[in-house]
Amino acid sequence: MRVMVTGGAGYIGSIVSEELVREGHEVVVYDNLQMGHLGAVVEGAPFIQADLLDGDLLRDMLKVYRVEAVIHLAADSLAEESLKDPTKYYCNNLTSGLSLLGAMKDCKVDRIVFASTAAVYGDSEKQPVEEDDPTAPTSPYGETKLAFERALRWHEAAYGTRYVCLRYFNAAGASKSFGEAHEPETHLMPIICQAAAGKRSHVAIYGDDYATRDGTCVRDYVHVLDLARAHTLALSALDDRSAIYNVGCGGDGYTVREVIEKASEVIGVDIPVEVRPRRAGDPAVLVANSEKIRRELGWRPERQDLGDMIEATWNWIEEHPSEYEKMGLWARLNKPA
């Protein structure tokens, strides 16, 4: 299948693209490089550096590459930032997404896999959360993702657009070629690894007074390779259904302190921490019930061990200590269209 991956030069997008190519799909990467890296574009994929709000170019590219389906990952994803600048999130996550849907409709592209988020549930009292549980986002980030999910439902009713929404929990790890490289970095595992490598002085813990087993937030971590696999399964499912799925490992999750302690054990160094006040928009606990995607799509997390996720993150950072642009990958990339 010919698939356009929006946000395909980002952390998850690059590894999803890699998985698609491995399974024999033709991939086109569409990314404005606001957060992505040219060096993260999967080898052999045409690359369009552009914004989703450029509707004319978007329509041209859907036609030129005869795109049959879209995997939509392009978004801003920081809950704390979204509380300070909601306009940015409504523009980049919702308005841009609606621009994409309009272009798809005009070009008769009627299949989309959407990278949603567990943040749509907000601070749910019930854990683990299921897809049918109430949604009550605590940030514009979660709210804009939920709004786009709802837009997809109405687009299916009006235009027949099939969709699968994948509600991510916390992606972690790396492939051999691609990993996390944000500036600034905000995700826990790469921050821990940077502290272990001496690139930062400590790891900040935002709140240690939650009603959890050690006072710090609990999260569900899923290996990014397992997450990528969920996208290819979702793409196949579009022949039969539209659906919403949680993508996480479930269980009891891990507290922030447990992740730091496991990283110290895996990497073999003490990792300094600094406790700070809670961040607005952070739920105390967020863990997935992923039985639905297991039952309907046959997805299984094959890399559930937290230590393995940390080791994959650490190894990638050790092997790629500089930005993507310094990794020697430029020569093999297609020039932007």
Contacts with 64 (C-beta within 8 Å, 6 or more apart), sequence order = none
Pairing type for strands 273-276 and 203-206 reads parallel
**Active-site residue, from 30, 89, 141, 210:** 141
Query: Any bridge partners for residue 6, and if so which?
Result: 30, 72
Average pLDDT, the chain: 93
Q: Is 141 among the residues known to form the active site?
A: yes
74-103: pLDDT as tens digits: 999 999 999 999 999 999 999 999 999 999
Could you tell me the mean pLDDT of each successive run of 10 residues in the chain, 337 residues long?
A: 97 97 97 92 96 97 98 95 97 98 98 98 94 96 98 98 97 93 83 91 96 97 98 94 96 96 96 95 94 97 95 89 46 36
143-162: pLDDT as tens digits: 999 999 999 999 999 999 99
Residues 277 and 206: beta-carbon distance below 8 Å: yes
CA distances from 25 to 1, 17, 87, 238, 253 (A): 5, 9, 36, 15, 33
pTM over 0.85: yes
